[in-house]
Chains A and B, each alone.
Chain A
Amino acid sequence: MKYLSEYRDAEIAKALIARIKARATRPWTLMEVCGGQTHTIVRQGLDEMLEGAVEMIHGPGCPVCVTPLEQIDKALAIAARPEVIFTSFGDMLRVPGSDCDLQQVRARGGNVKIVYSPLDALALAQRHPEKEVVFFAVGFETTAPANAMAVFRARELGVTNFSVLVSHVTVPPAIRAIMEAPDNRVQGFLAAGHVCAVMGYTEYEPIAAQYKVPIVVTGFEPVDILEGMAMAVNQLEAGRHEVENQYVRSVRRLGTEPARALVAKVFELADRPWRGLGEIKMSGLALRAEFAAYDAETKFGVSDIKVTEPAACRAGEVLTGRLKPPQCEAFGTLCTPERPLGAPMVSTEGACSAYYNIAKYRTADADAVVSAPARPS
Chain B
Amino acid sequence: MCLGIPGKITTIRDDAGLSMGIVDFGGVRRDVCLQYVQDEVAVGDYVIVHVGFAITRVDEDEARRTFEVLKEMSQLEELEWMAEVADESLKLADGAS
In the bound complex, residues from chain A placing their C-beta under 8 Å from that of B18 are 153
Q: Point out which of A34, A61, A256 has the most chain B C-beta atoms below 10 A from its C-beta.
A: A256
In the assembled complex, the Cα of A197 lies from the Cα of B57 at a distance in Å of 10
The verdict on A117 contacting B81 (CB below 8 Å), with A220-B69, A349-B2 known, is: no
B54-74: CB near A (< 8 Å → 1, else 0) gives 011011011011101101111
A91–B52 alpha-carbon span in the complex (Å): 15
| Residue of A with least CB distance to B38 | A258
Complex Cα distance, B4 from A118, in Å, reads 15
Closest Cβ of chain A to B64, distance in Å, is: 5
With A63-B2, A145-B53: A116-B30 Cβ-Cβ less than 8 Å: yes
Please, how many angstroms separate the alpha-carbon atoms of A365 and B62 in the complex?
26
> Which residue of A62, A116, A146 is within 8 Å of B89 (Cβ)?
A116
**CB < 8 Å: which of A89, A192, A256, A258 contacts B1?**
A89
Q: How far is A153 from B2 in the complex, measured between Cα atoms in Å?
A: 23
Indicate whether B77 reaches chain A with its CB closer than 8 angstroms. Answer: yes
B-side contacts of A34, CB under 8 Å: 2-3
**Across-interface contacts of A192 in B (CB, < 8 A):** 2
A108 in the interface, Cβ–Cβ < 8 Å? no
Q: Does B94 contact A (CB under 8 A)?
A: no
In the complex, the answer to whether A114 meets B33 with C-beta atoms within 8 Å is no
In this assembly, does A314 line the interface, its C-beta being within 8 Å of a C-beta of chain B? Answer: no
A270 within 8 A of B: no
Interface bracket on A: 35 or more
In the complex, the answer to whether B33 meets A197 with C-beta atoms within 8 Å is no
What are the interface flags for A98-125 relative to B under an 8 Å C-beta threshold, 1 for contact and 0 otherwise? 0000000000000000111111100100
Task: Name the segment of A3-11, A70-78, A326-334 touching the other chain.
Answer: A3-11
**Known contacts A116-B30, A117-B51; is A91 also within 8 Å of B1 by CB?**
yes
Report how many A-B pairs have Cβ atoms within 8 Å: 149
* CB pair A139 B1 closer than 8 Å: yes
Cβ-neighbour of A119 out of B52, B56, B77 (below 8 A): B52
Nearest-neighbor residue (CB-CB) of A153 within chain B:
B18
A36 at the interface (CB under 8 A from B): yes
Please determine whether A259 and B36 come into contact, CB atoms closer than 8 angstroms: yes
Inter-subunit contact A90/B81 (CB<8 Å): yes
Chain A nearest CB from B63 CB (Å) reads: 9
- Nearest chain B residue, comparing its CB with the CB of A143: B51
Smallest beta-carbon distance A89→chain B, Å: 5
Q: A146-B52, A374-B72 are in contact. Are A7 and B65 (CB under 8 A)?
A: yes
Is the CB of A303 closer than 8 A to any CB of chain B?
no
Interface assignment of A198: CB less than 8 Å from any CB of chain B: yes
Closest CB-CB distance, A63 to chain B, in whole Å?
Answer: 6
- Alpha-carbon distance A123/B16, docked complex (angstroms): 13
> Given A39-B75, A116-B89, A250-B62, is A256 in contact with B55 using a C-beta cutoff of 8 Å?
yes
- By beta carbon, the residue of chain B nearest A91 is B1
Contacts of A36 in B (CB 8 A): 2-3, 73, 75
Asked whether, in the complex, the Cβ of A197 is within 8 Å of the Cβ of B85, the reply is no
Does A195 touch B at the CB level, under 8 Å?
A: yes
B35 at the interface (CB under 8 A from A): yes
Contact of A220 with B52 in the complex, beta carbons under 8 Å: no
Closest to B74 in A: A375
Q: Hey, which bits of chain B sit against chain A, CB under 8 A?
A: 1-4, 16-18, 30-33, 35-37, 48, 50-53, 55-56, 58-59, 61-62, 64-66, 68-69, 71-75, 77-78, 80-82, 84-86, 88-89, 92
Instruction: Name A residues whose Cβ lies closer than 8 Å to a Cβ of B.
Output: 1, 3-4, 7-8, 34-36, 39-40, 43, 61-64, 89-91, 114-120, 123, 138-140, 142-143, 145-146, 149, 153, 156-157, 192, 194-195, 197-198, 220-221, 249-250, 256, 258-259, 262, 348-349, 357, 372, 374-375, 377
